[in-house]
Amino acid sequence: MSREVNTEDKCLERAKIIARICYEKRLEDIRLIDLRNMCPYADYFVIGTGKSAPQIRGVLKDIQAEMSKLKYRLINEAGRGGDEWALIDYGDIVAHIFSSEAREYYQLEELWADAPEIDFLAGYKAGK
């Protein structure tokens, strides 16, 4: 008997997929933050640090390709061509990819310091 996966479970799974793509593409200090009880416009933030503009662009491209396969609609994107920061917004999940300098400047984790962090690598095997 198969269990119907609810919308909340699907959202968390997609957030984990985004975080794992960041991990596979070797971003640094990746965080998956649970904002469901704290933020009116997103359930999860994925935050990571890229070492170069090409790496940041590559991660964004891979995230968008995978979410497109899952039929998950992109709402908005910002900073895509920039070297310092980029954002992709899927409504309930927002991914922020920063250079180390921009991440230090914006300190997004500090703004959401009370939000729980999710271990996105639990039970994960690379190359799945």
Per residue in 19-34, pLDDT (tens digit) is 999 999 999 999 999 9
Paired tokens of 120: 């996105």
Q: Which amino acid, 61?
A: K
Map residue 3 onto helix, strand or coil: coil
Residue 84 pLDDT class (50, 70, 90 cuts) = confident
**Reported pTM:** 0.88
Give the 3-state secondary structure percentages of the chain, helix then strand then coil, rounded to 5: 35, 25, 40
Q: Measuring CA to CA, how many Å separate 40 from each of 36, 44, 81, 113?
A: 8, 11, 28, 16
How far apart, in Å, do the first and last CA atoms of the chain sit?
A: 24
Q: Which amino acid, 69?
A: K
Looking at residue 5, its pLDDT comes to 47
Beta carbons within 8 Å of 112's beta carbon, 6+ residues apart: 33, 35, 38, 39, 45
Assess whether pLDDT exceeds 90 at residue 114: yes
> What would the pLDDT profile of 44-56 be if each residue is shown by its tens digit?
999 999 999 999 9
